[in-house]
Structure 1
Amino acid sequence: MGWRLLADVMFVLHAAFLLFFVVGGFLAWRWPKVVWAHLAVVVWSLAIVLIDYDCPLTGAEKYFLRRGGEDVYPRGYISHYLDGTIWPEGAAPTAEKVGFALIVISYVGFLVLRSRRRSRVASVKSPT
């Protein structure tokens, strides 16, 4: 039972990682320091997609499932849990593109908000 619990923990951590991947840039609008953690997640995710290697989080979940004597799903986390559930079967490449587009949008918004904040601070500091 302990191995299954660890596999479930990895499942939840992976889901949180992917959720942060999608919304982290928008969270940085409110909490700007979040952008650094989000940038690390984006680089990690981009490397996984471009180099096409297995995510270590998936590997850890599968390891714990195996140790617990359970069957391991043959594909990756996204293919197994999200493809055909969150979006139509086979649309994972499109979902990846949408995810990365949301990141670009969130970063543009982050930079616009940051610029506005700096302008406001500069106008408050300079006497008119």
Structure 2
Amino acid sequence: MVAWLLAAAVALAHGLLAVFIVVGAPLAARSPRLMRWYLAALAPIAAVNLPGLPCPLTVWEKDLWRLAGQTPYRGGFISQYFVEPFYAPGLDARGETVLLVAVTAWCLGWLLYAAASRLRLRAAR
């Protein structure tokens, strides 16, 4: 029971982190205080995903599901919880790459917007 609860907690935290990365980008671009938290969350995610390393949260969640006597899902976390409910076949390796590039472009776009806005404010002073 404890392993099941821990697996569910890791999955929930992982999901909230994924949502924060996407939804938090435009919010962080407008709030310097939130930007610190956003960058603190984004840095390790980028360090894991850009070189194509396995996500430690996904690995831990699957290990905990095994400990709980469950068969862990195949594939990645995003595919399991965010894609497959809407598109049953899930993502193949190419689809995961396309999604990663799209999310990276989204985040970088908002980070560049925030940087440009701050530079304009400094120049106006």
TM-score class, shorter-chain normalisation, is 0.7 to 0.9
Q: State the AA in 2 paired with 1:103.
A: C
Deviation at 1:108, TM superposition (A): 1.8
Long gaps (5+) in structure 1: 123-128
**Corresponding residue for residue 115 of structure 2:** 111
Q: Secondary structure at the residue paired with 1:53?
A: coil
Question: SS of the residue aligned with 1:33?
Answer: helix
Alignment correspondent of 1:2: 2
Shift of 1:13: 0.6
The alignment's TM-score, normalised by the length of structure 1, stands at 0.76
Partners in 2 of 1:19 and 1:81 — Cα distance? 11
* Partners of 1:94 and 1:60 in 2: CA distance: 25
Q: Deviations over 1:12-43 (max 9, x none)?
A: 11011111222333222332122233223333
Which residue of the other structure, out of 82, 99, 102, is the alignment partner of 2:106? 102
User: With structure 2 as the length reference, what TM-score do the two structures score?
Assistant: 0.78
**Greater radius of gyration (CA):** 1
> What residue in structure 1 maps to residue 97 of structure 2?
93
Per the TM alignment, residue 119 of structure 1 is displaced from its structure 2 partner at its CA by 4.5
| Matches of 1:65 and 1:94, distance apart in 2 | 28
Identity of aligned residues (%): 28
Deviates more, 1:1-10 or 1:34-43: 34-43
8 Å CA contact 1:83, 1:92 repeated in 2: no
Unaligned runs of 5+ in 2: none
1:15 matches 2:19: no
Indicate the RMSD between aligned Cα atoms, in angstroms. 2.3
